[in-house]
Chain A
């Protein structure tokens, strides 16, 4: 059972990130629906996590001591499913059925539908609470797995996030629950600053967390931030990754209309070409 991970080089991670981005735009194009923007913004966080930090065994997805990855921002399924497929939880062939009748890959994650999905999400704000339950169970049973929870910044509008945020330090779960925020600045209706202006680092600090900020598209910086989050501290850790919605495809970048919209055929071809060239 892999309990420690051999570090994967930043160059290799960058290649994986390209493949994940290509899956994302292809899936949303195929389905002609889905959420490309918040998927593309999360890629570096997800790739660094799944290859260099998450103790997991795709061949044994129910391994009781596995680290849990909980996607609280459930609409980022193009990202999530691509990540799981590239990591070996299931075939990348399965990605082609995304959002279609008969496919296990629903628009939002359905626990148990395919290996690797720890939680049903889609209604925002629930992942951190779910992680606490896992973590308390691990504490009770003497298991030392961690729960990595990915949230969006718009999701932080939800009150339940803060119910859970106060509980993690209270229950002493800092070494068991690690939070990540994809701070892309855009939510469904537009720019977060217009809809509900918040200051995530200050909010987390106010709830007793140690905040680690990074450029969420600099793979080395992300990898370092997640490594820091793994190290013990007297406070629970949250990585606030400053990201760009739609990153990697110029016409989607920082464009609220691609929160939940599919590209056209021409746009897809353009996107795939841009992704192959790497982040600019």
Chain B
């Protein structure tokens, strides 16, 4: 089965309401893409379209949250946080240690595809991880996205969950239990660790298979929660494999790679190689763009060999 992570959004919201969470949700004229409209159809009194006005949307959500609601906002990751960063900072992050506003940003990364560079968010994680109280999650498939949105919906902290546009194969089934702030080791390994998030988790799994064929044992970690990062999983990987590759559909500045490197630099300096997108995009089909930006198993294999060669 294939499904887009964005499709998990309305499913998770409905689940939260059914579990008694006082959810409201807002969209900014992209609800057909964020899938927010499906929640709106089910719970019209709990959903509003605010028009093309992301700053206002976030301000409204902050006001809602101040009255005790769990307020979700949805848009493309290029606009959320891009068009409303100051509102997220001043109206959401700073008051009382953070108001209960959840951002679910769809169309993250370059796999938004044909819309090109302006729609391809490769800065959102850098921006949002800079806001102190925010939890930040980049799920790898539909099931983990659904569980991640439910999990952040049950906290009272602000959070950001990044979802994607393309339909991708499932990694997890309904037996999976996502835990906020906890990494998931998908494959054991002893020579190198591939730490990935989002759509790059599948690439990491595929790369580990290729590496295994070449006699290299690669651990694969789904690091869905970028903030707070699972320090124990990072340090265990460093201790036990001595070499780290990070992979994300984002710049190598300010996202997963940065978060992992910070843990290592503070505690256990370890050779690391960063796989990401450090230039602006272009149009293309999403799978073509993954190749164009070298967000591929081949690139991860090469990065793994490079970092293994740098082991001390």
Chain A residues proximal to chain B, CB less than 8 Å: 64, 110-112, 118-123, 125-126, 128-138, 140-141, 159-160, 163-164, 166-167, 170-171
Contact = CB atoms under 8 A, between A and B. Distances in A.
Would you call the interface of chain A mostly helix, strand, loop, or mixed? helix
Interface in B74-93: 86-87, 89-91
Interface string B87-120: 1011100111000000000000000000000000
A79 B241 CA distance: 61
Interface in B238-272: none
Contacts of B96: 111-112
B169 interface: no
Contact of B48 (A136, A159, A160, A164): A136
B90 A137 contact: no
Interface in B54-89: 55-69, 71, 86-87, 89
B127 interface: no
Given A136-B48, A164-B60, 17 more contacts: A111-B95, A112-B95, A119-B91, A120-B95, A126-B59, A128-B59, A129-B59, A132-B59, A133-B62, A133-B63, A134-B67, A136-B64, A137-B69, A138-B67, A160-B87, A166-B51, A171-B48
Contacts of A122: 90
Contacts of A138: 67
B53 A163 contact: yes
A67 B184 CA distance: 47
A78 B87 CA distance: 24
B46 A131 contact: no
A235 to B, nearest CB: 19
Interface string B20-55: 000010000000000000000000011010110101
A176 to B, nearest CB: 11
Contacts of B90: 120-123, 126
B13 to A, nearest CB: 15
A133 B61 contact: yes
Interface residues of B, number: 31
Interface of B: 24, 45-46, 48, 50-51, 53, 55-69, 71, 86-87, 89-91, 94-96
A169 to B, nearest CB: 12
Nearest to A118: B66
Contacts of A111: 66, 94-96
B63 A134 contact: yes
B50 A167 contact: yes
A45 to B, nearest CB: 21
Given A163-B53, A163-B56, A126 B24 contact: no
Given A122-B90, A167-B56, A129 B63 contact: yes
Contacts of B50: 163, 167
Nearest to B49: A170
9 contacts: A112-B96, A119-B63, A119-B91, A123-B86, A132-B59, A133-B65, A134-B67, A135-B63, A136-B64
B61 A163 contact: no
A247 B99 CA distance: 36
B55 A137 contact: no
A114 to B, nearest CB: 12
Contacts of B87: 126, 129, 160
A64 B68 CA distance: 10
Contact of B55 (A64, A134, A163): A163
Given A123-B86, A140-B45, A133 B55 contact: no
A115 to B, nearest CB: 13
B217 to A, nearest CB: 50
Contacts of B51: 163, 166-167, 170
A43 to B, nearest CB: 25
Contact of A137 (B59, B64, B95): B64
B66 A167 contact: no
Top 7 closest A-B pairs, CB basis?
A133-B63, A129-B59, A163-B56, A111-B95, A163-B53, A137-B67, A133-B64
A147 to B, nearest CB: 8
A130 B91 contact: yes
